[in-house]
A = this chain, B = another copy of it.
Amino acid sequence: MTFGTLKTLSPIMTPKTFFTPGPSALYFTVEDHMKQALKEQIPSISHRSKAFESIYAECVENLKQLLQVPAHVHIFFTGSATEIWERIIQNCVEKESYHLVNGAFSARFHETALELGRKAEKTAAPYGRCVKQEHIRIPETAELIAFTQNETSTGAAQPLEDIYATKRKYPEKLVAVDVVSTLPYINLNHDIIDTSFFSVQKGFGLPAGLGVWIVNEKCIEKAKSLQEKGYSIGSYHTLPALLDKGKKNQTPETPNILGIYLLAKVCGDMLRKGIDTIRKETDYKAAVLYHAINQHHAFTPFVSDSAYQSKTVIVANTQTDSLEFIQKLKEKNMHIGSGYGSYKNSQIRIANFPAHSKEQVEMLADEIAGL
């Protein structure tokens, strides 16, 4: 068997296409990069070597360019986005955070703050909606406002303007934005918000096991001020510890070196493709998918107000058991997600990430039409 030529990586040769909202399809270059990493023996290099520092630097530079992250904003690596919920609360909240909740993941972020002993108020929207900007009422004592820009469980997306308006209204509070299932699509202004984060197994089409934490200087200052007040903000993954090692293009612990290497390479590929092209294609594919859902006799979009409809995680109510539709698509080697939690059997969820080609999405839409 030959392996790793571009031919074998084409969707035609891939037995299954994963439209699941994470883990999802691998970006089409990943297999080749993994082969190259093994050839270069990347998994065996020391995380304190120049070779690793160069991979780390390439990854951060590519991410900054792709996501338009200003030079003065930091990028750190963790084990998962779930870990980053914990680290944000530990490092950036002394007593109180405030959470916009519109699904299972934003609820979990809120719960994380409570588990870490903070006071944490929330405003919750019914699932399938977002809290409207005019209804956001933030306690004066809250130090941090947590948004989940794209709720992977419901497909409800908070318009960026809501987030920016909130920050303008409360400039002294830190604003954290969960962009787990929306980057690199969304054009987030990292000069306005204070911190954001994602994991690589969704929009970046990579194997799971790596979280990316984007942090500005205000978050670092907050963490240091908590330390100075005598609070424990963790051990190896405190912001000062991450910054200290990050300045040397290193991590405090032995990290997922292969994951950082693959992220560097895939960001490079996305830069060559062009972020504008990726965004335009995402818009096109989202339109194709919403059209297929709107046309289907048994499907309706869960998020009824199109202003809040996610472009990257498309969720539909199904009149009958969703597992039947999922199973039929599976027989065509197209894997889509079920509803989340209590919606398991009454919804479908479809990921629309850069790894999903226009052709694959068109084929999926055709199959949906035939269901």
User: In the complex, are the beta carbons of A86 and B209 less than 8 A apart?
Assistant: no
Cα separation A266 to B231 with both chains bound (whole Å): 42
The verdict on A284 contacting chain B, using a C-beta distance below 8 Å, is no
B-side contacts of A46, CB under 8 Å? 20, 23, 337
The verdict on A256 contacting chain B, using a C-beta distance below 8 Å, is yes
Cα separation A255 to B22 with both chains bound (whole Å): 12
Cα separation A43 to B14 with both chains bound (whole Å): 13
Cα separation A15 to B337 with both chains bound (whole Å): 43
User: In the complex, are the beta carbons of A209 and B257 less than 8 A apart?
Assistant: yes
B-side contacts of A44, CB under 8 Å? 16, 18, 20, 23-26, 335
User: In the complex, are the beta carbons of A79 and B82 less than 8 A apart?
Assistant: no
Question: Which single residue of chain B is at the shortest CB-CB distance from A261?
Answer: B207
The verdict on A324 contacting chain B, using a C-beta distance below 8 Å, is no
Cα separation A316 to B24 with both chains bound (whole Å): 47
Bitwise interface map of A from 6 to 25 toward B, beta carbon under 8 Å scored 1, else 0: 00000000111010101111
B-side contacts of A31, CB under 8 Å? 38
Which stretch in A110-118, A153-161, A359-367 binds the other chain? A110-118
Q: Which of B23, B81, B252 contacts A257 (CB 8 A)?
A: B23
Cα separation A114 to B208 with both chains bound (whole Å): 32
User: In the complex, are the beta carbons of B254 and A80 less than 8 A apart?
Assistant: yes
How would you classify the secondary structure of chain A's contact residues: helix, strand, loop or mixed? loop
The verdict on A312 contacting chain B, using a C-beta distance below 8 Å, is no
B-side contacts of A253, CB under 8 Å? 79-83
User: In the complex, are the beta carbons of A208 and B23 less than 8 A apart?
Assistant: no
B-side contacts of A171, CB under 8 Å? none
Q: Which of B25, B41, B82 contacts A18 (CB 8 A)?
A: B41
The verdict on A4 contacting chain B, using a C-beta distance below 8 Å, is yes
B-side contacts of A24, CB under 8 Å? 44
Question: Which single residue of chain B is at the shortest CB-CB distance from A259?
Answer: B209
Cα separation A81 to B26 with both chains bound (whole Å): 27
The verdict on A267 contacting chain B, using a C-beta distance below 8 Å, is no
Task: Show 10 residue pairs from A and B whose CB-CB distance is below 8 angstroms, ordered by the A residue.
Answer: A2-B2, A2-B3, A15-B41, A43-B208, A47-B208, A81-B253, A85-B236, A112-B235, A208-B254, A209-B257
Top 7 nearest A-B pairs (CB, nearest first) are A79-B79, A209-B256, A82-B253, A43-B207, A18-B44, A117-B232, A3-B3
Given contacts A30-B43, A34-B34, could you give 6 more A-B pairs where the C-beta distance is less than 8 Å? A16-B41, A18-B45, A208-B256, A208-B257, A209-B255, A209-B257
